[in-house]
Structure 1
Amino acid sequence: MTKITANASGTRSIEISEKHLKTIRKYSLLDGLIDSNGIINEEVLDKLKLNVRGLLESANVKDNDLLDLCLDVIYNQNMKAIGLQNLVSLYGEWLKTNGNDAPADDNPDPNEVTD
């Protein structure tokens, strides 16, 4: 577990687990989220929330890890834009050390045909 600061004053934090980071990678939740200007504000946080809500409402996604990520992190009452900025930074650092692990390894498809 790693804690990220969730607000500008540093009085609020959110715990991020390895499972949360793997879920972010599995669904590519941060890919294409931030505009070319690189600024993370409340609009970007709202965009992430809408993307995740769309995933949860789709008929083919029934993932408790995604639901846990929502409850614990994304929809956490303490989550603000600075928290998302810190989450993006943490995720980037985590990818540097765990980037070689294929996302498919998290939940292998039993129907996948391999050579």
Structure 2
Amino acid sequence: MYDIQLNESGTRHLNVTEQNLQTIRKYGLFDGLVGSTGYITEAELDKLKLNIRSLIASMAENSKDLLDLCIDVIYHDKMKAYGLKNLIATYSQWAANASNVTEVE
């Protein structure tokens, strides 16, 4: 379980599970999300939400993992651009560690 900070003052936190991070990887949710400036704003959070909605609407198979990610993380009532920035950083760190483990095996 990973803890991400949702606001600058540090009063809001969210727990992200390994399954949540695997779902982000499975669907490539962060691919091309952040523009060339590297800034994460509310527009990127809205874009992510719309992309996920589109994925769910177009899926014929079970999308329970994507729905769980939405309920637990993306549509969390305190999730803002700052939280998304920290979620992306956590995901990047997790993905780097996961690829290092795969290389060793």
Q: Tell me the secondary structure at the aligned position of residue 57 of structure 1.
A: helix
Write the letter of the residue equivalent to 1:9: S
C-alpha displacement at 1:57, in angstroms?
1.0
Q: Name structure 2 gaps, 5 residues minimum.
A: none
C-alpha displacement at 1:63, in angstroms?
1.5
CA distance in 2: counterparts of 1:3 and 1:42, whole angstroms: 21
Partner of 2:67: 67
Partner of 1:91: 91
Q: Name structure 1 gaps, 5 residues minimum.
A: 103-115
Partner of 1:55: 55
C-alpha displacement at 1:62, in angstroms?
2.3
In 2 relative to 1, CA 100–63 (structure 1 residues): closer, same or farther, beyond 3 Å?
Answer: farther
Once superposed, what is the RMSD of the aligned Cα atoms?
1.5
C-alpha displacement at 1:100, in angstroms?
6.1
Residue identity (%): 51
Larger radius of gyration: 1
Partner of 2:45: 45
Q: TM-score, normalised by structure 1?
A: 0.83
The structure carrying a bigger helix percent of its residues is: 2
